[in-house]
Amino acid sequence: MKTSSTLNLIRQLFLSSLVGLLGLSAGSAVAADKQLRIGTLAPKNSLYHQQLQELGEVWRTAQGGNAKYLIYPDGSQGGEAELARRMRIGQLQGALISVVGLREIEPSVGALQNLPLLFKSWEEVDYVREKMRPAMEKKFLDKGFVVLAWGDSGWVRFFSKEAAFRPADFKKMKFFAWGSESEQQEIMKSLGYIPVPLETSDILPAIQTGMISVVPSTPYFALASQIYSTASNMLEINWAPIVGALVVTKKAWDDMSPATQAAVRAAGDKAGLQIRSKARQEVDEAVNAMKKRGLVVNRPSPEQMREWNELAEKLYPRIRGTMVPAETFDEVFAHLKAYRASKGQ
């Protein structure tokens, strides 16, 4: 009798514990559904951070209840490749990242950023992006990600410790290179340049200590990160646009109600437009601000510019099929040809 009572007590305790654990798991799942964690390298309080805050408020309001929206700026969750990895394993539900991180998800997006001196204006960038956008977003969806907004952050310029005007001037310098872009590093080495693979957070100490001597960067980032205070020479060429996007995991998207999805989609379109328009204005503003604090702007002569264009022409065959899939590479050139023909160029 005593043994029977003991067994019944054990069974009751086991069932109570099991119910408790199931309840805890269900509660955790509900809590997770109401959290949206977004990572980015963008500085806190920057234009990009502000747009993420506005979009997050739209999501939180539409989601209702105790929904919690968290932004991790300043690369606090790691570099761009790490942000992509964290989304895949569920530690983050989204990220605002450039093509460097987006390529970890879908390589074809490299066509929007990794073709030096190809785009001559923001109008050309916009035209090609919009032409490729539906198919590109479908590829991201197939990989488990939803694109909410497309943005950009200015043209890449070369910031260096010493003045440099032509491609050969940079061969004696050590370049910052994205740690995750091994193909780019190999191309640079084959042309006689010295890439030093690092993460974004390592740039400033690396240039201060002499580990690197030149940083390809947008003016806004050079100002915000204080790169220009050590690398005080800027070569004024529009090497390539820095293009990015805000993406969320398909799981996080599917967890939203249709009404929430519609509100977030509208907020994403608005954020993308704001980022693109304001970021482009900030290029000149950032350059002017840095000039007042000692930045030297070096403008290449027509002859030196020809050398840069010749270098870009040499790079295209190496980029096609490596940094940019061949089919996508050809598509970009076809769209640009059509656009320029329509403008009589």
Query: Model confidence over 264-323: pLDDT tens digits?
Result: 999 999 999 999 999 888 888 999 999 999 999 999 999 999 999 999 999 999 999 999
pLDDT at 118: 97
DSSP code, position 43: P
CB-based contact 52:72 (threshold 8 Å): no
Q: To the nearest whole number, what is the mean pLDDT of the chain? A: 89
pLDDT band of 33, cuts 50, 70, 90: low
pLDDT at 181: 77
Element (H, E) at 98: strand 94-98
Query: Model confidence over 54-109: pLDDT tens digits?
Result: 999 999 999 988 899 999 999 999 999 999 999 999 999 999 999 999 999 999 99
Distance CA 236, CA 104 (A): 30
User: What percentage of the chain carries pLDDT values higher than 90?
Assistant: 81
Residue 56 three-state SS: helix
Residue 66 three-state SS: coil
pLDDT band of 227, cuts 50, 70, 90: very high
Domain 32-342 -> CATH class: alpha beta
pLDDT at 199: 86
Query: Model confidence over 115-145: pLDDT tens digits?
Result: 999 999 999 999 999 999 999 999 999 999 9
Domain boundaries along the sequence of the chain: 32-342
Average pLDDT of 195-213?
93
Average pLDDT of 9-29?
36
